[in-house]
Amino acid sequence: MSMQGDGLLVVVSGPSGAGKGTICRSLMDSKKDIVASVSSTTRMPREGEIDGNNYFFISREEFLNMIENDGFIEYAEVYGNFYGTPRKFVEENIKSGKDVLLEIDIQGALQVKEKYKEGVFVFILPPSMEELKSRIIKRGTEDQKEILRRFESAYKEINYVSRYNYFIINDRVDAATDKLRSIITAEKCRVDRFKMKLIGQ
């Protein structure tokens, strides 16, 4: 009774400051049978960022060309820079049976959900709005106005949790990571998912 098949597309999303990046890195460190999708961007690399690791740094022309050829499963322009998730990497891995982890913002996740409804959509929540505020402040890279803007945006974004399959409250990174790992394990045991495979959807 082999039940091999496509890998899972695991989309981890949530408001800025909820800690989705930390949880995803922690999952990648402990779970070796999942690959992380790397986004493409037209922005300049920051100090220490490595091409192909943090992002694929490509030109605006290359990016527009990829959009034209349906090369992204989602993309967005933020402050004049493009960010997108290359389709090829995601689809090739899933087809070969590997799970793919995609850490993206909420708008990106909702774009992905339009096309990949069989994906597993996980929303990371901060333990409290107070904690969220203090995390945004601690990042230290933003001025007061930027902090307020981010906080307000995060506050609004939390409502999007209803569009996701799972939520994880990120009160402790190890517990949150264990929940994410459990969600992936459990999804592979879902009868509905196996039924979909049988009827070839």
Contact positions vs its own copies (CB under 8 A) = 1, 3, 122-123, 125, 127-128, 161-162, 164-169, 178-179, 181-183, 185-187, 189-192, 194-195
**Length of the chain, in residues:** 201
Round to whole Å and give the CA distance between 6 and 23. Answer: 24
**Residue from 139, 121, 132 nearest 155 by CA:** 132
Return the CA Rg of the chain: 17
147 vs 161 by CB, closer to its own copies: 161
101 vs 168 by CB, closer to its own copies: 168
**Residue from 163, 120, 124 nearest 11 by CA:** 120
15 vs 84 by CB, closer to its own copies: 15
Least distance between its own copies and beta carbon 12 (Å):
12
Least distance between its own copies and beta carbon 191 (Å):
5
Q: Provide the angle, in degrees to the nearest 10, between the axes of the packed helices 173-187 and 20-30.
A: 70
15 vs 86 by CB, closer to its own copies: 15
